[in-house]
């Protein structure tokens, strides 16, 4: 019996006796040593871009890589390293992609396939939580099952695996091209611990429409804020021991929440902003914590525009004054600082009260400031960027493709989280959809004590109904995560295109995922 089986069966046996772990831990304060930290002393870091690497001569490639022609080759190394969450905290030993947390940002261009050689340099004799055998999933990517990070496709320390990111769109429909994806470890039973150790990063997508150049001369280009004004924001809560090491409770099957909220790996960082428009790409990258964002200038709540969701740009911007996000969701917003005088301080606050992985307990009226914007500049800065009223069109839902209606009920039994009453089983697919078809999935939660952010791999879906009604404008675009509670059953339109084979779907509360709330579908020709 290896450590994986030992730990897995140990966990399953411990939690399987009764539902006691759920009850016993209810009400226990969220994990983490309380610490007093000076806010707004660390600048907001931006993760580095993953640049192409030189191909070492003699390196051999999977024939599928060679089939792409000259590979656009990158190297991603998983290794132990140190990260500091705040100036006044001791450094934390983590598992890092290329030495940084969050990992380096992938840059994707439509039609340019990318090869990522993922090299596992973790310590094979690792002790403590986490599994040094690793898998990696490019979350939201339309890629073959071999590259998708199937949870049992883990590689051992000292070995590598090539991931092919084809950067294609299903049906050659460029309306399906996304804008903000992410990538993270996906090892069976250990996704929560490995992602918590640090194995996660962002993946940005560009094409002729959303070109990443606010000065683009192409009249078709949107010219959204770009470069230094296009900023990814990874939200992640952590809990630390007094020595700075990560605190992780492997027995918390609800999904752990930590007491320190971080943005791009820092507790309460600040960002100096020019007097102009910014594009922020928000990722709820926790294990279990949900977020509700509001932006404040003193006691004034500022409006902002949502321009994109998981699957890319919305057909039109949506103006809001708050936004809630479940784990693994991405939303992009535009914030305009042009009218604020130099020195103005603006905060991004999280308003959810959440002390366990089950679900938030309520909404705080004041919220918890997690990021400070400090406006600089005597005058409004030059701003060639635009936020057009029409962004990326939404291809119509084609009901004539629908060949099946399924229901998925998310629940729990005896400490195991289940889908349709079943725990994860790598040997039996839950569904076998036909390539080229579409299906309606009615997804619901049984039991009111918890939320589940359900994620489906491989294709963006559309939320046709939430709680029986048309969803809010920001949920009508392409999505790959839907945040569910027992009062908001959803009806999804799901398609299966381009690739045959196995893909997983699961709750993206990583504690739930590892505790068996995952199934898979097998696309058949």
Backbone phi, psi, residue 353, to 5°: -105, 115
In contact, 415 and 472? CB cutoff 8 Å: no
Between 139 and 452, whose beta carbon lies closer to ligand C2O? 139
Between 258 and 519, whose beta carbon lies closer to ligand C2O? 519
| Residue 507 interacting entry, from ligand C2O, Cu ion, none, C-beta within 5 to 8 Å by type | Cu ion
End-to-end CA distance of the chain: 37
- Residue 259 token pair: 């007491």
Nearest to 7 by CA among 215, 178, 248, 355: 248
| Residue 512 interacting entry, from ligand C2O, Cu ion, none, C-beta within 5 to 8 Å by type | Cu ion
| Residue 163 interacting entry, from Cu ion, ligand C2O, none, C-beta within 5 to 8 Å by type | none
| Residue 184 interacting entry, from ligand C2O, Cu ion, none, C-beta within 5 to 8 Å by type | ligand C2O
Backbone phi, psi, residue 160, to 5°: -135, 165
Instruction: Classify each residue of 182-201 as buried b or exposed e, where b means 16 or more C-beta atoms within 10 Å of its C-beta.
Output: bbbbbbbbbbbbbbbbbbbb
Mark residues 445-464: x for contact with Cu ion by CB under 5 A, - for none. Answer: -------x----x-------
Q: What residue is closest to ligand C2O based on CB?
A: 139
Q: How far is the CB of 36 from ligand C2O (least distance, A)?
A: 34
CB atoms within 10 A of CB 154: 23
Between 268 and 508, whose beta carbon lies closer to ligand C2O? 508
CB atoms within 10 A of CB 64: 14
Helix runs in 122-272, H state only: 191-196
> Which residues have a Cβ under 8 Å from the Cβ of 449 and sit 6 or more positions away?
22, 358, 359
- Residue 46 token pair: 């931006």
Residue 158, phi-psi category: left (phi > 0), alpha (psi -120 to 50), beta (remainder): left
Nearest to 136 by CA among 79, 179, 197, 78: 78
| Residue 266 interacting entry, from Cu ion, ligand C2O, none, C-beta within 5 to 8 Å by type | none
Binds Cu ion by CB under 5 A, chosen from 239, 271, 507, 518: 507
Q: How far is the CB of 503 from ligand C2O (least distance, A)?
A: 9
SS3 assignment, position 217 = coil
- Going by their DSSP bridges, the two strands 72-83 and 92-97 should be labelled as antiparallel
Upper half-sphere CA count for residue 390 (Cβ side, 13 Å) = 6
Residue 443 sits in the site that holds Cu ion (CB under 5 A):
no
Q: How far is the CB of 183 from ligand C2O (least distance, A)?
A: 8
Between 186 and 351, whose beta carbon lies closer to ligand C2O? 186
The interface region with Cu ion, picked from 72-80, 270-278, 390-398, 500-508 by CB under 5 A, is 500-508
Binds Cu ion by CB under 5 A, chosen from 475, 512, 520, 523: 512
| Residue 509 interacting entry, from ligand C2O, Cu ion, none, C-beta within 5 to 8 Å by type | Cu ion
Q: How far is the CB of 125 from ligand C2O (least distance, A)?
A: 28
Between 143 and 226, whose beta carbon lies closer to ligand C2O? 143
Between 332 and 514, whose beta carbon lies closer to Cu ion? 514
Residue 186 sits in the site that holds Cu ion (CB under 5 A):
no
Binding site for ligand C2O (CB under 6 A): 137, 139, 184, 186, 328, 455, 457, 504, 506, 508
- Residue 324 token pair: 């809630």
Residues that bind Cu ion (CB under 5 A): 139, 452, 457, 507, 509, 512
């Amino acid at each position: 019996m290896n450590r994986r089986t030992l730990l897995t069966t140990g966990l399953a046996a411990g939690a399987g006796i009764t539902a006691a772990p759920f009850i016993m831990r209810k009400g226990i304060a969220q994990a983490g040593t309380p610490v007093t930290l000076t806010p707004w002393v660390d600048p907001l870091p931006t993760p580095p871009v993953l640049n192409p690497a030189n191909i070492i001569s003699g390196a051999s490639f999977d024939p599928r890589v060679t089939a792409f022609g000259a590979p656009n080759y990158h190297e991603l190394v998983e290794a132990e390293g140190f990260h500091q969450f705040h100036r006044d905290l001791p450094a934390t030993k983590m598992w890092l992609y290329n030495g940084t947390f969050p990992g380096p940002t992938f840059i994707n261009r439509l039609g340019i396939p990318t090869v990522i050689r993922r090299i596992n340099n973790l310590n094979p004799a690792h002790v403590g939580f986490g599994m040094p055998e690793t898998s990696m999933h490019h979350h939201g990517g339309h890629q073959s099952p071999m590259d998708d990070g199937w949870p049992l496709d883990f590689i051992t320390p000292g070995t590598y695996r090539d991931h092919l990111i084809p950067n294609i769109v299903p049906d050659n429909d460029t309306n399906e091209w996304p804008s903000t994806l992410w990538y993270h470890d996906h090892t069976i039973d250990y996704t929560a611990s490995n992602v918590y150790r640090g194995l996660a990063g962002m993946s940005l997508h560009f094409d002729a429409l959303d070109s990443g150049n606010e000065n683009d001369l192409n009249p078709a280009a949107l010219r959204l804020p770009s470069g230094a004004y296009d900023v990814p924001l990874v939200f992640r809560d952590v809990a630390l021991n007094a020595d700075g090491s990560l605190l992780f409770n492997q027995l918390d099957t609800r999904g752990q929440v930590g007491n320190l909220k971080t943005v791009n790996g820092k507790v309460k960082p600040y960002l100096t902003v020019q007097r102009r428009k910014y594009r922020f790409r928000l990722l709820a990258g926790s294990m279990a914590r949900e977020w509700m964002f509001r932006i404040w200038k003193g006691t004034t709540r500022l409006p902002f525009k949502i321009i994109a969701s998981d699957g890319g740009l919305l057909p039109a911007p949506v103006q809001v004054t708050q936004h809630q996000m479940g784990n693994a969701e991405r939303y992009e917003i535009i914030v305009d600082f042009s009218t604020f005088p130099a020195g103005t301080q603006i905060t991004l606050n999280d308003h959810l009260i959440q002390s366990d992985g089950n679900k938030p307990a309520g909404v705080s009226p004041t919220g918890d400031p997690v990021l400070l914007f400090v406006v600089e500049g005597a005058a409004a800065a030059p701003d060639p960027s635009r936020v057009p009223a029409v962004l990326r069109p939404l291809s119509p839902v084609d009901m004539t493709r629908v060949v099946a209606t399924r229901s998925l009920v998310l629940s729990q039994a005896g400490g195991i989280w289940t889908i349709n009453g079943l725990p994860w089983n790598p040997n039996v697919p839950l569904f076998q959809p036909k390539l080229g078809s579409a299906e309606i999935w009615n997804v619901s939660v049984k039991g009111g004590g918890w939320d589940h952010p359900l994620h489906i791999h491989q294709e963006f879906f559309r939320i046709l109904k939430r709680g029986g009604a048309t969803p809010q404008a920001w949920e009508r675009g392409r999505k790959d995560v839907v945040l569910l509670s027992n009062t908001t059953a959803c009806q999804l339109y799901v398609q299966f295109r381009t690739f045959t084979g196995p893909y997983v779907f699961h709750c993206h509360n990583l504690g739930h995922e590892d505790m068996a709330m995952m199934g898979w579908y097998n696309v058949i020709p």
